[in-house]
Structure formats: C-alpha cells, structure tokens
Amino acid sequence: MEINLISDTVTKPTEGMLKAMLNAEVGDDVFGADPTVNLLQEKVAKLFGMEAALFFPSGTMANQVAIKIHTQPGDKMFCDKWAHVYNYEGGGAAFNSGVTSHLIDGDRGMFTAEQLEKAALGRGDIHVPFNRLVCIENTTNKGGGACWDFEELIKIGKVSRANNLAYHLDGARLFNALVAKNETPKQYGELFDTISICLSKGLGAPVGSVLVGTNEHIEKALRVRKLFGGGMRQAGFLAAAGIYALDNLVDRLAEDHSRAKAIGAVLENCSYVKKVEPIETNIVIFYVNDAIDPMDFIKKMEQKRILLISMGDGKIRIVTHLDFTDDMLAVLLEELKLF
C-alpha cells in the first residue's frame, strides 16, 4: 500500500464523480456553449453571492488572470512573503502582468491590516510604483493550512478600499477554511473583489479552478483567459467533476482535518521532532531535530512507501485528503512512532 501525502492534489476521481463526468452534457465552451461549464459557473457565483464566475484549467491561471485584470504593468501587488502567487506561480505576476510584489512579513502566511497600511504608505510619489492590489491566501499553503481571522480580513478590506487597492483571495483551499471555521462562501463574496477556488485540491476533482467576481471582472477575465491559452472546448466533463465535488465532498473535509490533527498529536510525542506547526485544517508542517537531515527523513519514509514533501527551510509537509483512509492513517502513525 502506497500512502501519498505530498499534496491533496494526488486524489483520483471517486466512482460517483466519474459517473457524473461520463454523463455530462457538453459543448464548445470557447463559444460559451458547454451547458455543464455554464452550470458550474452559475453554481459557484450563486454560492458566493457574486455576479459571475469563470472555469479555469488551474488555480495558477485563475490567480494570474485575476492579477492581470486588476493591474497595469509597473503596478504593485501586496502579499505575504509565503504567498503562492509570489513563490509558486513561476514569477507569473512579473512575467504576465509586469507587476512588482511587495512582500509583507506575516505570521504563517498571514499579515495584519496594520502591516498593510504601513506597507501602502507613499502612494503618489513618482519614485514608487502605483499600489493596486492585495492578495490574501486562505488557507495558507506554506503557512501550514492556517485560517485567517475573518475580522482581520474585514479590516484589510477597509484598508484596501481606503487605498484604492483591489482585493483578491487565493482560495485554493478556501473550503477547508469554511469547514474548519464554520464560515460561509457568501461572507467572502461580500468582502473580496475576486476569489479563486480550486476544485482539484481537497475537493477531489481531477482538474479545475473557478474565479468569481463582478460581471465586469469576469468579462475581462474571459478575454485574458483566452489570451493565456486557457480557453477549453468540451470542458463540461471536467466541470461535472467540480459540480459533483461541491455537492458531495465539502463536508467530508472535516475528516481530513481530524486525521491531520491525529498525525500532529503523534509527531508532538516523537523525540526526533523539533516542532509541529499548529494544525487547523488538512496540512501538517513539522521540523525534525538538527541531527536529522529532513531530506533523509523523507527518503527513509519513501522506502516505506510513505510519500511526504519538503517545503524548504527544513519544513516537512504532510497533506491529508480524500484518498487517505483510516487504515492508511494507522500505518502512518505506526511508522512515525517507530522511526
């Protein structure tokens, strides 16, 4: 038995999801004629109480298109130093949009309204870029699945509006946060200008992300998605997986969270573990003692057919997901105790 915990993207479609995909009614979505894609887009827009939504092949493209529609070349975007949009999208903000990233030194991928306010000083001076956009990530990936305090997000929204900044949420794992904190998509829809969500992470779809926003933003995004090469044809087969996931696989995220917490509890008691980051959702980040090379630890686990990943800076990451069962959890916990 292989236990793959490198990401929640490794899941394969469930039987019910495959059936939904096979039965999808499709058309050419570049002409807006795929009924299943349209259904997914309407569903997500409604879920967030926003005007419109657009289906994307990846979260990266959804975020990058959002950055593009909110900015002009030379503008500045604010994000945490650990943000996915800065660290893991191939330098896309600079490459695609000519945007400078101002990195805020947050805590586990989260900063405060006060930090943003300080960072946004100096607007109007000809020496400095135009401040145009704030990107938030919830849950934070490199921050170990941490959830933002919604009150702080409201405050950041106020600072953003006062400074004429667009407010984008990278919600690749937003549903994990919603389940963990008992929040609703509508709360987020009211606060942000645009939100990207991934269907292919904890929700278990094979492919797909959705960007939600106003009609005006989504019309622009449709054009930029085409320009970026993201116009897909009979994408309804993929959209059907997303619809299935939203209808059936959201509440179960709580299981991933409780398995992650069980792993964290065992790691806390392992003598070779230096530190375990607080666990709020489905990501466990921990550090081994200095005497152990983290890459060596990962290699030894791999020999036991347990796959983990390094996140740099000595961080080892475990991500629980739909295809990680209680049987696998039991094996993993034994191996961690024995190591």
Ligand X SMILES: *Cc1c(COP(=O)(O)O)cnc(C)c1O
Contacts (Cβ under 8 Å, ≥6 apart) of 49: 185, 186, 189, 190
Q: Which is nearer to ligand X, 197 or 218 (CB)?
A: 197
Q: Which is nearer to ligand X, 208 or 336 (CB)?
A: 208
Q: Which is nearer to ligand X, 88 or 287 (CB)?
A: 88
In the complex, the smallest distance separating the C-beta of residue 84 from ligand X, rounded to whole angstroms, is 3
Q: Which is nearer to ligand X, 100 or 200 (CB)?
A: 200
Phi-psi region of 333 (alpha: psi -120 to 50; beta: other; left: phi over 0): alpha
In the complex, the smallest distance separating the C-beta of residue 135 from ligand X, rounded to whole angstroms, is 10
In the complex, the smallest distance separating the C-beta of residue 4 from ligand X, rounded to whole angstroms, is 16
Contact footprint for ligand X (CB under 6 A): 58-60, 63, 84, 137, 141, 170, 172, 198, 200-201, 209
- In this structure, the dihedral spanned by the alpha carbons of residues 97, 9, 282 and 156, taken in order and rounded to 10 degrees, is 10
Helix (H, G, I), strand (E, B) or coil at 319: strand
166-171 and 131-137 beta bridge pairing? parallel
Buried/exposed 213-247: b ≥16 CB within 10 Å, e otherwise: beeebbebbbebbeebebebebbbbbbbbbbbbbe
Token representation of residue 96: 């695609």
In the complex, the smallest distance separating the C-beta of residue 82 from ligand X, rounded to whole angstroms, is 9
Instruction: Give the H or E element holding residue 62.
Output: helix 59-70
In the complex, the smallest distance separating the C-beta of residue 33 from ligand X, rounded to whole angstroms, is 25
Q: Which is nearer to ligand X, 11 or 60 (CB)?
A: 60
Unique residue bearing structure tokens 């070779």: 272
Burial degree of 12 (CB within 10 A; 0-12, 13-18, 19+): exposed
Task: Report residue 337: phi and psi, to 5°.
Answer: -65, -35
Q: Which is nearer to ligand X, 63 or 160 (CB)?
A: 63
Other Cβ atoms closer than 10 A to 69: 25
In the complex, the smallest distance separating the C-beta of residue 90 from ligand X, rounded to whole angstroms, is 10
Task: Report whether 157 contacts 167 (CB < 8 A).
Answer: yes
Residue with the shortest CB distance to ligand X: 59
Q: Which is nearer to ligand X, 12 or 161 (CB)?
A: 12
In the complex, the smallest distance separating the C-beta of residue 140 from ligand X, rounded to whole angstroms, is 7
Contacts (Cβ under 8 Å, ≥6 apart) of 181: 147, 150
In the complex, the smallest distance separating the C-beta of residue 52 from ligand X, rounded to whole angstroms, is 20
Q: Which is nearer to ligand X, 211 or 276 (CB)?
A: 211
